[in-house]
Structure 1
């Protein structure tokens, strides 16, 4: 029959021949167990990292959402029911300018006073010299 040509002779299909190439049964089992343990540990680490990554991603999404809401509040001028940011800044600037103007006025008054003191000192001196 044609099939007989393709099948190898009986003596070459010896089960002992294939068995001699495989490691002892318990050795292979130990290797499989340690590989399985390593794979499980790696899988746990991967799962933990994935969970942590998803948590970080969720936190980042929340931060972006919060920042976006705050920016919208600022842009709409509704910063927690107060006046708009622009108005608040204008008020701040006015206060700063007012403070500077008062300081300048104090300096001017101080200089005027010093001039008056010098004048009166000079008058006193000139009176004494007469």
Structure 2
């Protein structure tokens, strides 16, 4: 992957069991951010640390659900130290009750993802959306 972000760019963790989607999102985001990818809830917990500024988290992960991952992440570190965007194929009122900063309904567009990231953690200096 070609990286063009600055060294002080925010770190984004993408979590989705649909590898093609996760990899596509990573390709888009790595132009502005440092990006980590996890394809399961267990991988997400391993990839998460204090450097992560933003998590794009699929709600419907096999095994360990997105909601369970979210609960564990919030338990591990101060919830105000990172933001979470829940990705869901089915929008619903119950999503409003989740302790997340935003919800995106799949299928997501490049613009949806960049807008959410920029709104929550800002843009890396000099980065351009292509």
Please classify the TM superposition score into its range, dividing by the shorter chain length.
under 0.3
TM-score (norm 1): 0.14
TM-score (norm 2): 0.14
Going by fraction, where is helix more abundant, 1 or 2? 1
- In our comparison, the structure showing a higher alpha carbon Rg is 1
Tell me which of the two structures has the higher relative contact order, counting C-alpha pairs closer than 8 angstroms and 6 or more residues apart. 2
